[in-house]
Amino acid sequence: MLNGRYRKARVLFGLSDIALTALAFWAAYQTRVWLPLEHEFYLLFPTRILLLGFAMLSWLLVGLWLQVYDRLDSGAPPVILRDTFRQCGYGAISLIIFEFTLRLDLSRPFLALIAVYSWILLCLFRLTAGSLVGVVRREFGGPHFVMIVGLGPRARKMGEQLERSAQYGIRLVGFLAEGPHLDMTPAHIRLSAEYNVFPVQALKQILRRQVVDEVVFAVDSNRLAELEDAFLLCDEEGVRTRVAVDFFPHVNSKVHLDQLGATPLLTFSAAPHDEIRLLIKRATDIVLASAAIVALLPFMILIALLVRLTSHGPAIFRQERCGLNGRKFTFYKFRSMCYDAETLKPALQHLSQRSTAFKIPNDPRLTPVGRYLRKFSIDEWPQLWNILRGDMSLVGPRPAVPDEVEQYKQWQRRRLRMRPGLTCLWALAGRDQLDFESWMRMDMQYIDNWSLSLDWKILLLTIPRVITGHGAS
């Protein structure tokens, strides 16, 4: 219930950004036209509409990318000012790139005015957004009345959470007692406020005499079957029911309901499961990997020739790696080590800085060319083919060799539940300088917080790291 209302608030902020960016664009245009500068300024109507549409889209996408809308509802003024400044700055940069691409030759004061006006307008709105969102919730969302079945600690905890959600329009109506000893139940339960307690048998009369939007069952799992009549009553009345499933010992999983034929399935997923977003991620991988292969193909041919001419052995190194859910696949990269590097590995094992993943600083097996390829991640370019095949993604945990996976601790094996990638959060935090434990935890952080905007953020921030060779060894 809360997630739906929280999404409404995010939609409100997104729509306000579009409207305020359009207003800032209009104000900047009018100001620049009135300014008595050396060159007169005028844009044809189609060009003006094109720029306006791009500006509104850019500001919205940058806001999603920076996760600005996740913090606006309860953000402190310094956070709002900082996030808005970053959003307007990145938006202005994208507008400059767009102008350069289309060779529009816009007025620099005009572009600066858009950034300044949008920052002022967005800050003014966002600093007062708490009260405005409250008004919108009251006027358009209306209060949402909820009853809880159960009187135990689980029910009380649920009641406290609903009380804390009052700002989202959630209203706790009361509690319904269930069990064999109803004559011993209290008449009221005291949380932040006092709530009446009714027998669950009175649910039919309650639904007819007062508004109840939802009934939440917060009871022990062994009591659910005995409440079948209450479930059926709510179903016949059209009242939404929810079951608190915190009695299942899942720590990392997100819960969703699925269906197989006519059988409902309560699903626990400890990795991203949204098929639509995962499909978009896969489509993005195919488009970007295809474009990268076409753009880099001449350079890849030259690098392959350079590797063959400077050291004995094939240009492409092949190795078995573990992919999604442990699937084995052939992993490709430009060979950066001597031909018998795998044969020499046991003799160098004692020099490894990591107990699980084999890593040696200034690895003696690296060729002179290979050291350069490693530093700037050029040796990873052939993995674009792995991405096209579906073995890997642009962003995800790095694919591990089977021997390493065998040494994983139980909690580390969850990283196999995401398609492996070229880059991930660890690439932004030091690449080869990270210890194995930190590397694994950052992969878990990525899996638990995955979104399409996070993927784009990682991709864009990885590019300067790779170009400068930062963190590579």
Verify that 285 and 433 share a domain, yes or no: yes
**Domain end among 136, 158, 185:** 136
Work out the pLDDT band at 107, boundaries 50, 70, 90.
Answer: confident
Residue 5, token pair as written in the block: 């209302």
Say whether both 9 and 45 belong to one domain: yes
pTM (two decimals): 0.65
Of the candidates 84, 116, 136, which is a domain's last residue? 136
3 state DSSP class of 164: helix
User: How many structural domains is the chain composed of?
Assistant: 3
User: Looking at the structure, do residues 128 and 169 belong to the same domain, yes or no?
Assistant: no
pLDDT tier for residue 223 given thresholds of 50, 70 and 90? confident
Do 172 and 66 belong together in one domain?
Answer: no
Please indicate, yes or no, whether residues 375 and 415 belong to a single structural domain of this protein. Answer: yes
Q: What is the CATH number of the domain that holds 171?
A: 3.40.50.720
Q: Do 293 and 442 reside in the same domain of the chain?
A: yes
Q: Where in the sequence is the domain holding 62, given as residue range(s)?
A: 2-136
Does the residue 158 lie in any domain? yes
Asked if residue 453 and residue 338 are part of one domain, the reply reads: yes
Give yes or no: residues 333 and 184 share one domain.
no
Burial per residue of 120-132, b for 16 or more beta-carbon CB atoms within 10 angstroms, e otherwise? ebbbebbeebeee
Are residues 224 and 291 located together in one domain of the fold?
Answer: no
For 56-60, 75-79, 174-178, 405-409, which range has the lowest pLDDT when averaged over its residues?
75-79
Q: Which residue has the tokens 């608190």?
A: 244
Residue 73 has pLDDT above 60, yes or no: no
pLDDT class of 197 with cuts at 50, 70, 90: very high
Q: Which long-range contacts (CB under 8 A, 24 or more apart) does 249-255 make?
A: 252/414, 252/444, 252/448
Is it the case that residue 374 has pLDDT exceeding 90?
Answer: no
Q: Which residues contact 441 (CB under 8 A, 6 or more apart)?
A: none
Let me know: does 40 contact 109? Beta carbons within 8 Å: no
Burial environment of residue 282 by CB neighbours within 10 A (0 to 12, 13 to 18, 19 or more): middle
Q: Name the phi and psi angles at 215, rounded to 5.
A: -125, 125
**Mean pLDDT confidence for 144-155:** 90
Is residue 255 assigned to a domain? no
* Per-chain mean pLDDT for the chain: 85
Residue 473 within any structural domain of the chain: no
**260 falls within a domain:** no
* Residue that terminates a domain, selected from 228, 247, 266: 247
Could you tell me if 26 and 130 lie in one domain?
A: yes
Highest mean pLDDT out of 35-44, 184-193, 254-263, 289-298:
289-298
Residues 306 and 439 grouped into a single domain: yes
> Predicted confidence band at 140 (pLDDT cuts at 50, 70, 90)?
very low
316 has a pLDDT exceeding 90: yes
For residue 355, pLDDT over 80 is answered with: no
Three-class secondary structure assignment of 298-357: HHHHHHHHHHHHHCCCCCEEEEEEECHHHCEEEEEEECCECCCHHHHHHHHHHHCCCCCC
For residue 116, what pLDDT is reported? 94
